[in-house]
Amino acid sequence: MNRISGRAVTLASVAERAGVSKITASRALRQGSLVAEATRQRVMTAVADLSYSPNLLARGLAQNRTATLGVVVLELDNPFFALMLSGIQAVAAKRGFLVVVGESSREEEEERRYVLQFQQLRIGGIIVSPFMKRLDHLVAARAGGTPVVVMARRWKEGDYVAADDRKGGWLVAQHLLIRGHRRIGLVRRRDPNHTPIRARVLGFRKTLAAAGIQVPEEWDLQLEGGLIEDGMKAADQILRMAEQPSALFVTSDRMALGVVYRLMEQGIMVPQDVAIVGYNGIPYAESARVPLTTVAIPMQRLGEESAEIIFSRLDGAAPDWPRQVLLPPELVIRASCP
């Protein structure tokens, strides 16, 4: 504990040195609070002079919450979530909040455990990219006074920030149709809980149907996972087909990279023989063996907007009704489907 002349250095000590009230000193230390810049500088000078370090635990007990955001994502090794976490961290740091991250690994019980532990830790707010459809644990956390935002999924009853995946599917179909493709296949993860994939496929199919095109059942490939190796398995199935599609929509970039790798390994040229469009816009899609055409989701903005909603709730500035934000995706055209 920092001490001056045998006394513990407290917020009151900082306020006295800066010549302001304790409330003003507290506000000056909270980035984002409305305090005149000259006043903030006097407080920060007093903090440096006195080597003051705020007691976050005591502050959390007094406010019945800590200056911490809890985040639960499906996979920590997925660049899709890494950029979202970067966005959350950027906003939280400006407000002086720490970010604690948990990985559910697509396990329902793990997700529920993290949400419960975050509540027990009196965390300031919770952001979740949920695995399952049932979100009663999030409803319970919100009812207990903890702001909750669902990220990269939709939540009918509460706050969420998601991408407009139905529009994303439309973008893919439109691009393939404009390029003259009519023999079009689909590669996706078999996951009934993955509502974004369902929305992508819905937008994609409806757009093709309007042009009089259906995806044949044998060209609708569903894999258990969504990794590069799963894309390679999908490509193996395509290689065994008597008739192959001229273009594929692969509903995640990681799977798309696996498809491209295996097809080219076996002498199928991309895009000359089969054009490939991925989805998500992960960073290394651009530097692949064949740079990947993809629908890019604004991943960092998803994280930033989610954190901003949490802070608007903590500040009491948000409306009572749910804040529900849909961010537009963008088609990025590269060599795999120029």
φ, ψ dihedrals at 326, nearest 5°: -110, 120
Residues 120-164 pLDDT 10s: 999 999 999 998 778 999 999 999 999 999 999 999 989 999 999
- HSE of 204 in the Cβ direction (CA atoms, 13 Å)? 28
- 10: pLDDT strictly greater than 90: no
- 232: pLDDT strictly greater than 80: yes
How far separated are the first and last CA of the chain, in Å rounded? 62
Sheet holding 98-103, edge to edge: 98-103, 68-73, 125-128, 148-151, 159-163, 324-327
The predicted pLDDT at position 1 comes to 44
Report the relative pairing of strands 247-250 and 184-189 from DSSP bridges.
Answer: parallel
Q: What are the residue boundaries of the structural domains of the chain, listed by start?
A: 3-54, 63-162+299-327, 165-298
CATH topology of 3-54 equal to that of 63-162+299-327?
no
φ, ψ dihedrals at 331, nearest 5°: -75, 125
The predicted pLDDT at position 31 comes to 57
The predicted pLDDT at position 23 comes to 81
CB 184 within 8 A of CB 213: yes
Task: Give the mean model confidence (pLDDT) for residues 79-92.
Answer: 94
Which of the four pLDDT bands, split at 50, 70 and 90, describes residue 2? low
Task: Give the mean model confidence (pLDDT) for residues 161-171.
Answer: 97
- 63: pLDDT strictly greater than 80: no
| Cα 336 to Cα 31, 136, 223, 292, distances in angstroms | 45, 42, 21, 5
- 57: pLDDT strictly greater than 80: no
Mean residue pLDDT of the chain comes to 90
* Sign (positive or negative) of CA dihedral 235, 192, 310, 115: negative
Q: For residue 193, how many other CB atoms are within 10 A of its CB?
A: 14
Correct CATH for 3-54 of 1.10.760.10, 3.40.50.300, 1.10.260.40, 1.10.150.20: 1.10.260.40
Task: Give the mean model confidence (pLDDT) for residues 179-202.
Answer: 93
Q: Is 63-162+299-327 a CATH 3.40.50.300 domain?
A: no
> For residue 205, what are its two tokens?
């199919």
Residue 329 CA to residue 253 CA, distance in Å, equals 14
Task: Give the mean model confidence (pLDDT) for residues 287-291.
Answer: 91
The predicted pLDDT at position 30 comes to 66
Q: Where are the alpha helices (DSSP H) in the chain?
A: 11-18, 22-29, 37-50, 56-63, 79-94, 108-120, 136-143, 165-178, 195-210, 228-239, 253-265, 299-314
Helices 37-50 and 11-18 cross at an angle (nearest 10°) of 120
The predicted pLDDT at position 326 comes to 96
Residue 99 CA to residue 69 CA, distance in Å, equals 5
Q: Is 165-298 a CATH 3.40.50.2300 domain?
A: yes
The predicted pLDDT at position 64 comes to 60
CB 65 within 8 A of CB 54: no
